[in-house]
Amino acid sequence: MPSAAAKPPLTILLASPRGFCAGVDRAIQIVERVLLKFGPPVYVRHEIVHNRFVVENLEAKGAIFVEELDQVPDGRPVVFSAHGVPKAVPAEAARRHMIHVDATCPLVSKVHRETERHHAAGRTVILIGHSGHPEVVGTMGQLPPGAVILVETVEQAERLEIADADSLSFVTQTTLSVDDTAQIVAVLQRRFPHLNGPKREDICYATTNRQAAVKAIATDCDGLIVIGAPNSSNSMRLVEVARAYGCPKATLVQRAADMDWRWLDGVWRLGITAGASAPELLVEELLAACRARYAVTIEEVRVTDENTVFRLPRALVA
């Protein structure tokens, strides 16, 4: 570790907004409230949000994370993750008379309702998203098998064949790249002029804002670090956005302990942001690790303020 006098200079451009969004904050609070109300153990189907630090903190309080309901013993409560679940999951929970609490982000629930409305109107539904992501699995699971067509890329949009092109709609995963999604939508609208879309775009405010903040600093950075998990869609999109907007040296780090400090060789202006499921504590941890090695100057670059708050389920409000 260099002495104070020997520390090389490092300017950190701190992107804002960053870190927790309202849906993530609500989901974590729901697990904590269920633990208080029913006592441990409380089961959670899938990671409540995609961040190991968050998951491990909740495990320490008595949460047990499982993949399916058959791993939950009778008589214990279960929480559904922020990403949403197929309709079959709450139906099975109800059949078993389980205490179940839905922590699905309200903005994901909005996409679920849109999907149902389009289907009820007799339209074929296209979902723009990433195959296998739990949010996509949950959204497709709102309708019968085969009723939703998944499109992941511009190339797939160009090749898509629809029997009734005049009765067609689209929805999107909430954590996609704003730019990539716009390109896919443009192709679909060109090929299918009668395409119905959401009244307000499905990509959530937090995803949009965090990508905008990265765009604002990318050209001014020699390197950019996104704090987040590799299975976090919104975090991975931030790395892609940084590279696309002028900072090719961009990487994902889960927390300061995972840093390879040689990666910062040649970096004098470092951008730092955090995905929507990464707590600010992990940002502070990385800043402290940087200060231990560099003479740090911090410049916060804020593109907008966020004040969105989602209410907790009524059953959990004292």
CA–CA separation, 263 vs 102, rounded Å?
41
| Residue among 87, 88, 136, 84 at smallest CA distance from 105 | 84
Complete edge-to-edge strand list for the sheet that includes strand 295-302: 250-253, 223-227, 269-274, 9-16, 295-302
CA–CA separation, 295 vs 288, rounded Å?
11
135 is catalytic: yes
- Which DSSP letter does residue 27 get? H
Residue pair 281/187 in contact by the 8 Å Cβ criterion: no
| Residue among 285, 224, 282, 289 at smallest CA distance from 7 | 289
Q: Per the residue annotation, which of 56, 92, 135, 300 is the catalytic one?
A: 135
* Radius of gyration from C-alpha coordinates of the chain: 21
- Residues identified as active-site: 135
